[in-house]
C-alpha cells in the first residue's frame, strides 16, 4: 500500500457528557501518534455519533469539531447503539479506507488499535475483531449472563465471535457490504461474521467504565439478547413445534389410559392431575404463541422498511 490509509474511529454517544472529555483526549492523542508514526493518513478522524442524547453531549461534540480532528454526526432521536453504529459507518464510508467502532466509555483498550490497523494495512485483513481476554471488570452477573447468552446463541447455530462486542475494524469494502444488510433488527455481532473476507483477532483486557453509568440497563440487555436470537435463528419456533408433537404423543398415551380405566370400571378421581395439566398445557401454548408472535413482530417491523435512523446534521471541518 503506497498511500497511507484514512482511518475513522467511530464512537456512539448516548448521554456521555461525563466520559467525552477524557475519551476525546485519549483518542486524539492516539490518532496524532499514529499519524506521526506514518501509520495512518493525516485525514483520519474521530467520529462521534450523538444518539439523541438529552444531556450536553452534542454541545461537547460541536466544541470538539472545532479542533478539526473530530467529526460530529447528530441523529434526530435515540435510535439505539446498533443503529448509531450503522449511521456512523454510513457517514464515513465515502472518505475512510477503514473504520473502527468503539464504545464512548473506552472500556475496550484503545492500545490495540495500532495492531488492528497493522492487520488491515499489512496483512490485508478486511475485518479485525477486538476480543476480550477475560471479563474480570464486569460484574459477576453481567459476565455469567453474557457468556451464557453466547453459548446459547452458539447452540442455536448463530456464528458469533466469543467475547467480542462491537470493538472492531472494518475495511471500506467490508463496511459497504455490511451496509447492504438492510434489516431493521440489527445484531451486528451476528451479521459481521456472515460477510466473510479475511479476518483477524486482537486480544485485550476490558477496563472499567471511566465515568458515567452503563447505558445498558438489564431491560435493554434482555431486549438486545432476544433480538439477537430471533433475528438469526428460527430454531425456537421449531422447538415449539417439537414440543407440540411430544404433547400430542403424551395425550395419546393418556387416551389409552383413560379408556382402559373406563372399561375396567375404576373410578376417576384425578382432579388434581387434571387441573395441573390444564395449567401446564395452557402455559405451553402461551409460550409457543409468544415465540411465534415474536417472529411475526419482527416481520411486521421489517416489512414497514422504515429508515433505521435520521441524521440531523454532520459537522466535518
Interface residue list for Mg ion (CB under 5 A): 103, 105, 107
* Rounded alpha-carbon distances, angstroms, from residue 10 to 24, 87, 174: 12, 10, 15
Grid coordinates standing for 234?
Answer: 428460527
Q: Does 14 bind ligand UDP (CB under 6 A)?
A: yes
Which of the listed partners (ligand UDP, Mg ion, none) does 199 bind, with a CB threshold of 5 to 8 Å by partner kind?
none
Phi, psi of 216 (to 5 degrees): -115, 80
Residue of 9, 70, 100, 104 that binds ligand UDP (CB under 6 A): 104
Among the listed ranges 74-82, 148-156, 194-202, 251-259, the one in contact with ligand UDP (CB under 6 A) is 74-82
Taking the C-alpha atoms of residue 113 and residue 1, their distance in angstroms, rounded to an integer, is: 19
Which of the listed partners (ligand UDP, Mg ion, none) does 16 bind, with a CB threshold of 5 to 8 Å by partner kind?
ligand UDP
**Of 143 and 176, which has the nearer Cβ to ligand UDP?**
143
Looking at residues 32 to 51 of the shown chain, list those that interact with ligand UDP (rule: CB under 6 A): 51
Which of the listed partners (ligand UDP, Mg ion, none) does 12 bind, with a CB threshold of 5 to 8 Å by partner kind?
ligand UDP
**Of 97 and 103, which has the nearer Cβ to Mg ion?**
103
Residue of 6, 8, 10, 12 that binds ligand UDP (CB under 6 A): 12
Q: Does 78 bind ligand UDP (CB under 6 A)?
A: yes
Contact flags string 191-220 toward ligand UDP, x per CB under 6 A? -----------------------xxx----
Count of beta carbons in the 10 Å neighbourhood of residue 32: 12
Looking at residues 106 to 135 of the shown chain, list those that interact with ligand UDP (rule: CB under 6 A): 107
Looking at residues 84 to 103 of the shown chain, list those that interact with ligand UDP (rule: CB under 6 A): 84, 103
**Of 107 and 163, which has the nearer Cβ to Mg ion?**
107
* Strand-pair partners of 33: none
Taking the C-alpha atoms of residue 200 and residue 216, their distance in angstroms, rounded to an integer, is: 28
Cβ at position 283, least distance to ligand UDP in Å: 32
Which residues, 6+ apart, have CB-to-CB distance to 19 below 8 Å? 104, 105, 106, 209, 210, 211, 212
Cβ at position 28, least distance to ligand UDP in Å: 17
Taking the C-alpha atoms of residue 208 and residue 105, their distance in angstroms, rounded to an integer, is: 9
**Of 84 and 112, which has the nearer Cβ to ligand UDP?**
84
Cβ at position 16, least distance to ligand UDP in Å: 5
- Angle in degrees, 0-180, between the axes of helices 20-36 and 57-65, rounded to the nearest 10: 30
* Residue reference for cell 431493521: 184
Taking the C-alpha atoms of residue 215 and residue 220, their distance in angstroms, rounded to an integer, is: 9
Cβ at position 251, least distance to Mg ion in Å: 49
* Residue reference for cell 499489512: 122
* Rounded alpha-carbon distances, angstroms, from residue 155 to 40, 70, 126, 148, 161: 40, 42, 27, 11, 13
* Rounded alpha-carbon distances, angstroms, from residue 174 to 92, 131, 302: 13, 19, 23
Binding site for ligand UDP (CB under 6 A): 12-14, 16, 51, 78, 80-81, 84, 103-105, 107, 214-216
Amino acid at each position: 500500500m503506497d498511500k497511507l490509509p484514512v482511518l475513522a474511529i467511530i464512537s456512539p454517544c448516548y448521554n456521555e457528557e461525563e466520559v467525552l472529555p477524557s475519551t476525546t483526549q485519549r483518542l486524539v492523542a492516539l490518532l496524532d501518534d499514529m499519524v506521526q508514526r506514518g501509520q495512518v493518513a493525516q485525514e483520519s478522524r474521530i467520529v462521534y455519533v450523538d444518539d439523541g442524547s438529552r444531556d450536553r453531549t452534542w454541545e461537547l461534540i460541536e466544541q470538539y469539531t472545532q479542533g478539526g480532528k473530530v467529526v460530529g454526526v447528530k441523529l434526530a432521536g435515540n435510535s439505539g447503539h446498533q443503529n448509531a453504529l450503522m449511521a456512523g459507518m454510513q457517514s464515513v464510508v465515502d472518505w475512510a479506507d477503514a473504520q473502527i467502532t468503539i464504545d464512548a466509555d473506552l472500556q475496550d483498550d484503545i492500545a490495540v488499535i495500532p495492531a488492528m490497523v497493522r492487520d488491515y494495512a499489512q496483512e490485508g485483513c478486511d475485518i479485525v475483531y477486538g476480543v476480550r481476554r477475560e471479563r474480570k471488570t464486569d460484574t459477576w452477573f453481567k459476565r455469567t449472563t453474557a457468556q451464557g447468552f453466547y453459548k446459547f446463541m452458539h447452540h442455536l447455530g448463530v456464528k458469533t465471535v466469543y467475547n467480542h462486542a462491537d470493538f472492531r475494524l472494518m475495511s471500506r469494502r467490508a463496511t459497504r457490504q455490511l451496509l447492504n444488510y438492510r434489516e431493521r433488527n440489527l445484531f451486528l455481532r451476528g451479521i459481521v461474521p456472515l460477510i466473510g473476507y479475511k479476518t483477524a483477532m486482537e486480544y485485550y483486557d476490558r477496563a472499567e467504565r471511566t465515568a458515567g453509568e452503563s447505558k445498558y440497563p438489564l431491560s435493554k440487555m434482555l431486549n438486545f439478547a432476544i433480538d439477537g436470537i430471533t433475528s438469526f435463528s428460527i430454531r425456537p419456533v421449531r422447538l415449539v413445534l417439537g414440543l407440540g408433537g411430544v404433547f400430542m404423543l403424551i395425550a395419546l398415551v393418556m387416551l389409552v389410559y383413560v379408556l382402559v380405566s373406563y372399561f375396567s370400571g375404576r373410578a376417576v378421581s384425578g382432579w388434581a392431575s387434571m387441573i395441573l395439566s390444564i395449567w401446564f398445557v395452557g402455559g405451553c401454548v402461551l409460550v409457543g404463541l409468544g415465540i411465534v408472535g415474536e417472529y411475526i413482530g419482527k416481520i411486521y417491523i421489517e416489512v414497514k422498511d422504515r429508515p433505521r435512523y435520521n441524521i440531523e446534521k454532520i459537522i466535518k471541518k
